[in-house]
Amino acid sequence: MTYVGIGVIGAGLFGRKHIEIMKRESACRLVAIADPTPEAEIFAQELGVPCFKDYEEMLDRAKPRAAIIATPNVLHASAGIACAERGIHMLVEKPIADTVESARQLIEAAERARVALLVGHHRRYNPIIAKAREAVREGLLGRITAVSAQWMLLKAEDYFIPAHRRQPGAGPILTNAVHDIDDLRFICGDIVSVQAMSSNAVRRYPVEDTTVVNFRFSCGALGALTVSDTAVAPWSWELTSGENPFYPRNDENCYLISGTEGALSVPRLELWRYREGTEKGWNKPLLRELLSVETVDPLARQIRHFCAVVRGEAEPVITGRDAVRTLQVVQAVLEAARTGNTCELDAE
Ligand SMILES: NC(=O)c1ccc[n+]([C@@H]2O[C@H](COP(=O)([O-])OP(=O)(O)OC[C@H]3O[C@@H](n4cnc5c(N)ncnc54)[C@H](O)[C@@H]3O)[C@@H](O)[C@H]2O)c1
């Protein structure tokens, strides 16, 4: 198998994470880095690849077949359009862009150039999330009625040292709950209506520390998501899934999905149903089965999938059009929290 040569644009925290993973994958090879900082230059020297301050120069001179874009969000669209104009496939970190408008420009550029545009909602590659989606799609829960999702944990005080993390444009909705919203869309289907209420009562920063959100899904189900980065609590994907060794794992759940035939917890994947052929009702015993999945690093799986898409061997698990919908829901949450209005999103 020939490898896919990849240029990484933005070698900060997450760009470096991608590079670490690429080192272990035979499907791809890092060919160059674009990042204006001296630290990136040193990092590239250590890796033995060229480093460019300007990403257009990197694309023109190193000529990678594909690029990973891990810059700050405001640069995703312009860097992605530069890739598209040169026929270079791309994996853009989440969120696809900082605004829906710039995301659409990026999508159009990629479609015009017929290059792949994947977005780094990497949890979709986690077998736990994939299994939950499969269970819903196969009808194991019947018709979905209600979803309860939690993202409650305590961010360390030093997380807030960089001033931008205390300002609108950061915050747990845009930074963290964007993943949960994408998970819920991936598992339960699209979200068509949003209500929300936000508070900064504990940290007193301009950005929210706590938000509660109500959703209506296109299938008719209702959902509620509770978000707080100032809570001493274990109920978040990070603190329950074991996906990232940085976070201790707690044997708890972060999503509870209920339907007319059963219910499913995530990430523990407990499937609750009545025994087949027995009478149903609130005073009848429920059976608990555990759905099993293999343990896989979703970031590694994402890179392998990206390379397969570049080689024309797979269809994207997530497209730009799908990812922009997640961004639209996130923006609707912020808007609903700001105005107190219910925000309706057009059905797809
Ligand atoms: N999928 C995930 O779970 C996940 C986790 C963290 C971050 N992210 C995403 O990754 C992206 C980067 O986040 P981060 O935490 O690594 O940020 P970061 O600030 O650590 O890194 C950003 C890098 O981009 C570089 N950069 C700035 N301007 C540039 C330019 N013009 N050309 C090339 N490089 C430039 C910076 O020098 C920096 O090294 C964001 O979009 C973020 O949302 C995703």
Which pLDDT tens digits describe the chain residue by residue (348 residues)? 689 999 999 999 999 999 999 999 999 999 999 999 999 999 999 999 999 999 999 999 999 999 999 999 999 999 999 999 999 999 999 999 999 999 999 999 999 999 999 999 999 999 999 999 999 999 999 999 999 999 999 999 999 998 988 988 889 999 999 999 999 999 999 999 999 999 999 999 999 999 999 999 999 999 999 999 999 999 999 999 999 999 999 999 999 999 999 999 999 999 999 999 999 999 999 999 999 999 999 999 999 999 999 999 999 999 999 999 999 999 999 999 999 999 999 865
Q: Would you say the CB of residue 122 lies under 6 angstroms from ligand 1? A: yes
Handedness of CA 94, 166, 15, 52 (dihedral sign): positive
Domain borders along the chain are 4-121+298-317, 127-295+328-344
Distance 9 CA to ligand 1 centre (A): 9
Show the beta-strand stretches assigned E in the chain.
Answer: 4-9, 28-34, 51-52, 66-69, 89-92, 117-119, 144-152, 191-199, 210-217, 222-228, 255-259, 263-266, 270-273, 287-290, 343-344
Q: Where are the alpha helices (DSSP H) in 173-273?
A: 178-188, 237-241
Ligand 1 atom 27: residue of nearest CA: 71
Q: Would you say the CB of residue 18 lies under 6 angstroms from ligand 1? A: no
Contact 310, 116 (CB under 8 A): yes
Q: Would you say the CB of residue 341 lies under 6 angstroms from ligand 1? A: no
Query: What Cα–Cα distance (Å) separates residue 293 from each residue in 40, 72, 258, 269, 270?
Result: 38, 34, 20, 9, 12
Distance 8 CA to ligand 1 centre (A): 11
Q: For the domain covering 127-295+328-344, report its CATH number.
A: 3.30.360.10
Q: Would you say the CB of residue 9 lies under 6 angstroms from ligand 1? A: yes
User: In this structure, what are the phi and psi dihedrals at residue 233, rounded to the nearest 5 degrees?
Assistant: -160, 155
User: In this structure, what are the phi and psi dihedrals at residue 138, rounded to the nearest 5 degrees?
Assistant: -80, -5
> Can you tell me the distance from the alpha carbon of 226 to that of 148, in angstroms, rounded to the nearest whole number?
8
Distance 279 CA to ligand 1 centre (A): 54
Q: For the domain covering 4-121+298-317, report its CATH number.
A: 3.40.50.720
Q: Would you say the CB of residue 94 lies under 6 angstroms from ligand 1? A: yes
CA proximity to 289, closest of 303, 280, 276: 276
Burial class (CB in 10 A: 0-12, 13-18, 19+), 198: buried
Q: Would you say the CB of residue 12 lies under 6 angstroms from ligand 1? A: yes
CA angle at 129 for the pair 125 and 135, rounded to the nearest 5°: 125
Q: Would you say the CB of residue 220 lies under 6 angstroms from ligand 1? A: no
Ligand 1 atom 25: residue of nearest CA: 10
Q: Would you say the CB of residue 71 lies under 6 angstroms from ligand 1? A: yes
Distance 72 CA to ligand 1 centre (A): 4
Ligand 1 atom 11: residue of nearest CA: 70
Q: Would you say the CB of residue 267 lies under 6 angstroms from ligand 1? A: no
Provide the pLDDT for residue 87.
98
Q: What is the number of the ligand 1 atom nearest to the C-alpha of 71?
A: 24
Provide the pLDDT for residue 168.
85
Q: What is the number of the ligand 1 atom nearest to the C-alpha of 122?
A: 1
Q: Would you say the CB of residue 172 lies under 6 angstroms from ligand 1? A: no
Q: Are strands 144-152 and 222-228 parallel, antiparallel or unpaired?
A: parallel
Q: Would you say the CB of residue 14 lies under 6 angstroms from ligand 1? A: yes
Distance 78 CA to ligand 1 centre (A): 14
Provide the pLDDT for residue 1.
66
Provide the pLDDT for residue 170.
87
Residue with tokens 């007193």, as numbered in its chain: 204
Ligand 1 atom 30: residue of nearest CA: 35
Provide the pLDDT for residue 348.
57
> Can you tell me the distance from the alpha carbon of 246 to that of 254, in angstroms, rounded to the nearest whole number?
18
DSSP letters for 326-346: HHHHHHHHHHHHHH-PPEE--
Contact 261, 142 (CB under 8 A): yes
Provide the pLDDT for residue 52.
98
